[in-house]
Amino acid sequence: MIIEVLLVLGLSIGQSAVYSVVSLLDKLSRAPISQGTSTLNAVRNNREFFDFTYQILDIFFALVPVMLVFYLLAEPGKSVFRSIGLDWRHPLRDSLAALGLLVVIGVPSLGLYAAGRAMGITTEIIPSALNQYWWTVPVLVLSAIRAGVLEEVILNGYLLGRLAKIGLGPWAAIVLVALLRGSYHLYQGFGPFIGNFVMGLLFGWVYKKWGRVAPLVVAHALVDIAAFTLGPALGFGG
């Protein structure tokens, strides 16, 4: 079980965490962290067709570990989507929960970013540096959905359950997963690490309480859609 967890993380979020720590050390070795920048959606090619192709391929292959998790969680005669609460059984309740989480994490995150910049512990975050094409906004929306599905399915739908089987108590697992969530945001600075750690605690508690990953995915995706498409208007870098 431990080997399985390490392999899944090594192919997905754990790999991102390692790169994030190295990126942070690189930025700190060059200048104060406040002088660094973090681009979330970067141009992959200066030719439109190939940039679009790379963006779509990035989104698709980033979701392959999610497909692996579905395979590992599958049990004969049971729906893996139902088991982790990624279905349409409770659309109204899930929608209301997602909106509540959106308010709880969305508005404070803007204040935390501004505070982190003022304190010099957060890089300038550029949500999108993509050129303006007809497909730019749709790709940013897909990228946000990708992030919501990837992170919430692996962290909550998969990892919390596996840590419980390994023997960790509920809160020990929630704290560990929250630390992992914060760690792969360290390339953005210490402010985003703190914010995502707190978000991880909240999301982990919500998942343990209701066993539904759907509202977490929706809330996460909506926050990222707003950030990616309205970044400068929300106070992020251009």
Question: CB–CB of 159/70 below 8 Å?
Answer: no
Point out which residues pair with 124 in neighbouring strands: 37
What are the pLDDT digits (tens) for 188-215?
Answer: 999 999 999 999 999 999 999 999 999 9
Per-residue confidence (pLDDT) for residue 235, from 0 to 100 = 85
Per-residue confidence (pLDDT) for residue 77, from 0 to 100 = 87
* Residue positions counted in the chain: 238
DSSP 8-state code for residue 123 = P
Strand 37-39 vs strand 124-126: parallel, antiparallel, or unpaired? Answer: parallel
Q: Which residues of the chain have pLDDT under 50?
A: none
Per-residue confidence (pLDDT) for residue 216, from 0 to 100 = 98
With a CB cutoff of 8 Å and minimum separation 6, the contacts of 65 are 8, 11, 12, 150, 154
Instruction: Give 70: exposed, middle or buried? Use CB within 10 Å, 0-12, 13-18, 19+.
Output: middle
pTM, 2 dp? 0.94
Element (H, E) at 148: helix 136-152
Question: CB–CB of 71/82 below 8 Å?
Answer: no
Question: CB–CB of 106/226 below 8 Å?
Answer: yes
